[in-house]
Amino acid sequence: MKAAVVEDFRSVPRYTDFDMPHCAEGEVLVRVQASAVSQLARAQASGKHYSSGKPPLVPGVDGVGLLPDGRRVYFAFPRMPFGAMAQFTVVKASHCIEVPEDVDAVTAAAIANPGMSSWLALTDRARLRPGETVLINGAAGASGRLAIGIAKHLGADKVIVTARNSSSFDQLRALGADVLIPLDFPHDRLRAEFREAIHGHRVGVVLDYLWGPSAEVLLQVAGEYTAGVVQPRIRYVQIGSISGPDIRLTGALLRSSGLELMGSGLGSSCPQSIVAAAGQVFRAMDKAGLSIETVCFDLAEVDVAWEHATNARLVFRMERDG
C-alpha cells in the first residue's frame, strides 16, 4: 500500500510503499479517508514525544475512514508502526466511533484532536461545574479557539483567555471570550492581570496549552498566600507545552493554595475516553457553533506539504471522495 513514511526522525515523511497491515485479535482494518497533522502527530514523527515509535513508521495518530462493513468512523491510536497517514491502518475496535452523516471526513479529521483536548480536560479531568469561570492559557491556536466554545457549551459562565499575539483578540472575542489578557505585558502588569482573573473573576479551571513562562507566573499568582484565608480551589489542567517543557515549581506554592495540578493526554485518560470525547465534539458542533479552518493536500504531496506554513489545520486526504 501507499503511505507517508518516516524513515528517520531528521527528515519529513516521504510518500512511498509500506507493508499492508493485518488485523490482530480485537482489531479492525480501516480504509483511511483523511488524517490531520496535529501537534501530537508532528511530535511523534520527529521522535520528540514520549509515545514515539522507532522508524520506519507511518505517522498519524487519528483519522477518518471506512470499516469493512462500510461504516464511516473516527479512529485513534493505530498500532505502531501503522499510523493514520496511509491507505490502510489497523486499530482496536474500541478505538473507533461513528462519524455523524452531516460531518464530512476532512472536517471530522481536523476538529477531533483539538476539540477533544479541551472536552476531555473539562469533563474527565477538571469535572467542570456549570457556572464556573474557565481560564484558557494560549487560546490563539486551533485547540484554544475551540476550547472557548466548548467551555461555554459545557456550562462555563465566563471564559478568560490569554494569547501571545494580541492581533487575534477580535477573533477570540467573537468566539465568546469574555476577558482577554495579552501575554506580552510587562511582568508586573501580567501578574496583576492574572491576579484579577483568579480572584476577581473567581477562576475555577485553567486549561494550559503553553506551559513555560506564562504558566510560571499564573501558578505563582494562584499560590499567593493570605493569612487566615482558605484559598479557592483551582483545577489546573496541563495540556500542551508550546512555550517550553519545564517550569520552576516550589512545594510551598502547592501548600499555600487550593491548586490541583493535573495533566490531560495520553496516559492520563484511557483511549476509549479520548475517542468518546471526539464523538461528543462531533455531536456538539452545530449547537456549540464549533468550526475549524482546514487546508487539504493529497497524501502523495506529504513531503512538500508537511512543513506548509498555515494557521489552518493541515489534513491529508487519501482518496478524493473522502
- Residue 226: is its pLDDT beyond 80? no
How far apart CA 183 and CA 255 sit, in angstroms, is 27
Could you tell me the residue ranges of all domains in the chain? 2-98+292-317, 114-263
- Residue 224 confidence class, pLDDT cut points 50, 70, 90: confident
Mean pLDDT of 94-116: 97
Q: 205: which 3 cell numbers?
A: 479551571
- Residue 322 confidence class, pLDDT cut points 50, 70, 90: very low
- Residue 299 confidence class, pLDDT cut points 50, 70, 90: very high
- Residue 228: is its pLDDT beyond 70? no
Mean pLDDT of 157-173: 93
What integer best gives the mean pLDDT of the chain? 93
Residues 6+ apart with CB under 8 A from 161: 135, 136, 139, 144, 148, 172, 177, 179, 180, 181
Regarding predicted confidence, which is higher, 275 or 225? 275
Query: Picking from 163-172, 177-186, 222-231, which range would have the lowest pLDDT averaged per residue?
Result: 222-231
- Residue 237: is its pLDDT beyond 50? yes
- Residue 229 confidence class, pLDDT cut points 50, 70, 90: low
pLDDT of residue 71: 97
pLDDT of residue 185: 94
Query: Picking from 133-142, 146-155, 260-269, which range would have the lowest pLDDT averaged per residue?
Result: 260-269
- Summarised one tens digit per residue, pLDDT across range 6-32 is 999 989 999 999 999 999 999 999 999
Sign of the alpha-carbon dihedral angle for 238, 240, 242, 246 = positive
How far apart CA 32 and CA 287 sit, in angstroms, is 28
pLDDT of residue 49: 75
Regarding predicted confidence, which is higher, 251 or 308? 251
- Residue 168: is its pLDDT beyond 80? yes
- Residue 101 confidence class, pLDDT cut points 50, 70, 90: very high
User: In terms of Cα–Cα distance, which of 312, 296, 301 is closest to 33?
Assistant: 296
What pTM does this model have? 0.92
Domain 114-263 has CATH 3.40.50.261: no
Residues 70 and 31 sit within 8 Å (Cβ to Cβ): no
Which CATH number is associated with domain 2-98+292-317?
A: 3.90.180.10
Confirm whether 2-98+292-317 and 114-263 share one CATH topology: yes
Residues 112 and 38 sit within 8 Å (Cβ to Cβ): no
pLDDT of residue 111: 98
- Residue 231: is its pLDDT beyond 50? yes
